Amino acid sequence: MASLKKKDQEDSSLARRNSADNFMVSLRAIAAAISCAGTATLQARQLLITQTAAPFGESALTQATSGLATAYSLGSVVEFFLSPSFGRLSDRFGRKPVMLFLMIGPALMRALCAVVKEPFFRIRLLWLDFASARAIGIQPFMGMCGTMISDVYKADEQPGARSQLVAAQAFGSILGNYLSGWWNARAGPESTYLCTAGVPILTLLFGSFCLQETNNAKKNNHEIQGAKASNLAGSKSYLGLLLDPECCLLAGALGLYEFMNYPPMNSVSILFMKERLNWGPLQAGRFASGHALAVFTGSLLAGRLIQVFGKYYVSLTNVLTALAFFMWAKAKNGWSLVASLLPLSFGTGGNAVLLTRFVERAVSLGWTRGEATGVVQAVGAVARMAAPQLFTRLWLRAVAQKGQSALPLGAPMLSVSVIALLQEILYRCSLLVRSR
């Protein structure tokens, strides 16, 4: 009898692992495709808005380009308010329908940007496209992917699974950088926009057939009922969860990761490489691909490194990230700039551990996984609003004071190095709070 029970448990465990593996294969493919299209659109957007505004003079071009930065920040503002709603909708209607819905917005906006030819409307559609990507596009889409991983995997398996997701996203970015550069030169950014508009639709069809619903609480309502019974359920404002000291510290550390992503620093990075190394767009694009490759490598190694370093892994990633951006800021030639990617390739993956801890802590307090992920997305939106503003102001001040022994040109990168050390302080404080 005992042997039969043991065999049933082994069969059940094997079936669960096979189901999780099949789910992860589909999710990685979807994330890579969406990331590839998003990265390709990021390059094409700047080229298309330049082509559209350039005939009207330098002033029109400057206004159109600066409008993109404003759109990025406004999109993050909208995301701040919408993110918790997506989490709650996924708790009620399921993760899969919400994820598929988040693919429709980018497809529609990209198609409009390519089809509408009138310069006045096209420029404003490009702004709206950039803003919507933050609010109802790739940003909440990736957050929903993380929520699905929380549903499928046990807590100790989640960091490795999240790292695989980041690796797929980074692989898509590498592919998108090269394909976009090649196709923009061959057919122009308008054609690139049409191609990237089709990717979410094809991915939606693939996900509809191949991706399973992961929210079991939607079927049996246990998790949601538990949340309603919680003392926190009286006010489901995401600020309520942040009143818990451990969640507050973890959310702060997770939000700071947004400063380390490449998109907010993209414009400043290009200017830095042009000023310091005399690099053009081609070399800058290659470095962006190298950055994505470093993230891809670090994400692939994360699962093994977590096993080796255990609780010290997050501290290792924080220190290596600080070192990487310090080397980037001090780079005097191409080789020293590329060398900064080496510590970065081993310093990626700490956020997977922290996000798992945050979600599990929130669930233990009576919140659902969807709500917990929505809180993280909202905190990240605040950081995404602040990051480009910080980098731009530091760069402009450094350029204005050039030669006066004040701020160095690498000031934006140095600020990220300091932020990585601040993350380590928040992480250590969260461990102290947890041990009480």
- Of 177, 95, 74, 174, the C-alpha closest to 140 is 95
In three-state secondary structure terms, 370 is helix
Coil, strand or helix at 159: helix
* Count of alpha carbons within 13 angstroms of residue 318, beta-carbon side: 22
CATH number of the domain located at residue range(s) 23-211 in this protein: 1.20.1250.20
Give CA–CA dist 200/34, Å, rounded. Answer: 6
Domain boundaries, the chain: 23-211, 230-436
| pLDDT tens per residue across span 336-364 | 999 999 998 888 888 899 999 999 999 99
Q: How far is CA 406 from each of CA 189, 388, 395, 402, rounded to the nearest angstrom?
A: 40, 21, 12, 7
List the Cα angle 173/97/207 in 5-degree steps. Answer: 50
Distance, in Å, from the CA atom of 153 to the CA atom of 360, rounded to the nearest integer, reads: 12
CATH architecture entry for 230-436: Up-down Bundle (1.20)
Q: What kind and span of H or E run contains 151?
A: helix 138-152
User: If we measure between CA atoms, which residue out of 414, 427, 385 comes closest to residue 321?
Assistant: 414
Nearest Cα to Cα of residue 55 among 113, 108, 138, 118: 118
Domains 23-211 and 230-436 share a fold: yes
pLDDT in tens, 105-155: 899 999 999 999 999 999 999 999 988 887 888 888 888 998 899 888 988
- To 10 degrees, the CA torsion angle through 306, 307, 309, 315? 20
Look at residue 413 and tell me whether its pLDDT is greater than 90.
yes
pLDDT for res 60: 84
How confident is the model at residue 280, as a pLDDT? 76
pLDDT tens, position by position, 246-264: 999 999 999 999 899 887 7
The mean per-residue pLDDT over the stretch 16-42 comes to 87
What is the reported pLDDT for 223?
A: 45
